Amino acid sequence: MRTKITSFGSGDSKGVSLCVCVYVCLPHLSCLSVSVSTFPGLTECILCVRERERERDSAMLWTVLFALLLLLILQAQLCVCLRELRASTASALALPPPPPPSSQATTTATNGTVQRLPGAIIIGVRKGGTRALLEMLNLHPDVEVAKAEVHYFNLDENYQRGLDWYRAQMPFTLPGQLTVEKTPGYFAAPLAPERACQMNPAVRLLLIVRDPAERLVSDYTQVLHNRLQRHKPYQPLEELLLLDDDINGGGNDRHTRRIDPGYKALQRSLYHVHFQRWLEHFPREQIHVVDGEALVRDPYPELRKAELFLELPPRIRPSNFYFNATKGFYCLVSAGHDKCLDESKGRPHAPLSQRAFRKLCRFLREHNKRFFDLVGRTFRWC
């Protein structure tokens, strides 16, 4: 671009216009083709423009430096905030965890005792010796037990009443005492493991087991006794336990009849099925398995193992037990008073033929092996 300028003077208004033009085009002076000597004031104008640009560049430099300084200050402040946040987080993590539900109390008695959720539960098995185990644990001065079966986790109508209702069924305890509840119906109840875990995932569980074939007969015997007391009709055990083997054309011949896997009392004796369900919610080391037959033969060793599992100091002694020859099992001695289990314990079993019993044992053999694998020990069962 070539521009012709005919006149220029320092006091001429055209000079001002030219100065403005030069200021605008100075970064692109190649666009102008003028002779500086032709215009005496042009040199001064160019110098003025360049001075203004230096001032502008200097101002921009200071602005950038100020912005960098501000960023450094903000970064330092952010580091301080992060350190304080980390310190507060570490302090919060170092605090002791809140007490588990088993130690939360509600009603307080005048003597300072309170009702707490159980720290240990005897979950089964039905007719396995749960009442005997509970009474024997109650010999320990640091243990208080719920006197009745609560059926909180296995009955919907009770579970819907909530934890406050459940806690209200527990005994009053002193600080440091362990609350124990037993409901043998929990073991085979499908929803009980999950519900118990939701109540307290750290609760300790005790499972007392016996020969599942003997347990089944004892289970039927109790049902039979209850029906007889209420003058209700009943079926013989063998009719409930065995099915006609129509597949092989056996008809009603008792020698060819097979075990009915749907019989409810038999279902309760499939220990591995129910134990696996509990293992889905609790680690194996949180479930203590008590040998029911060993507890009957000699209670003290089994009680000592239970004390260790519950982390209780050893307070139960062999002198707390004596064998009652009339009843045929051990009774308890505490504070100079003896106590035997009620008359329903140790009652004669309902009749079952030897052939049917052997058939039952054969049916249970594989199921028992699966249970042994789960618990990591074996039992001398039929």
User: Is 334 assigned a ligand-binding role in the annotation?
Assistant: no
Query: What is the per-residue pLDDT for 45?
Result: 59
User: Is 257 assigned a ligand-binding role in the annotation?
Assistant: no
User: Is 179 assigned a ligand-binding role in the annotation?
Assistant: no
Candidates 4, 127, 147, 339; catalytic one: 127
Query: What is the per-residue pLDDT for 254?
Result: 54
pLDDT in tens, 118-151: 999 999 999 999 999 999 999 999 999 999 999 9
Reply yes or no on whether the pLDDT at 49 is more than 80.
Answer: no
Q: Which of 3-12, 63-72, 217-226, 230-239 has the lowest mean pLDDT?
A: 3-12
290 DSSP β-pair partners: 208
Instruction: Show the tokens assigned to 51.
Output: 């001075």
Asked if 327 is an active-site residue, the reply is no
Cα separation, 62 vs 264, in Å, equals: 89
Cα separation, 273 vs 267, in Å, equals: 9
User: Is 130 assigned a ligand-binding role in the annotation?
Assistant: yes
pLDDT in tens, 172-204: 999 999 999 999 999 999 999 999 999 999 999
Maximum mean pLDDT: which of 16-25, 78-87, 130-139: 130-139
User: Is 9 assigned a ligand-binding role in the annotation?
Assistant: no
77 — pLDDT class (breaks 50, 70, 90): confident
Cα separation, 100 vs 103, in Å, equals: 6
Instruction: Show the tokens assigned to 103.
Output: 């130690």
Instruction: Show the tokens assigned to 65.
Output: 């430096």
Reply yes or no on whether the pLDDT at 34 is more than 50.
Answer: no
Question: Beta strands 321-324 and 258-259: pairing type?
Answer: unpaired
Query: What is the per-residue pLDDT for 50?
Result: 72
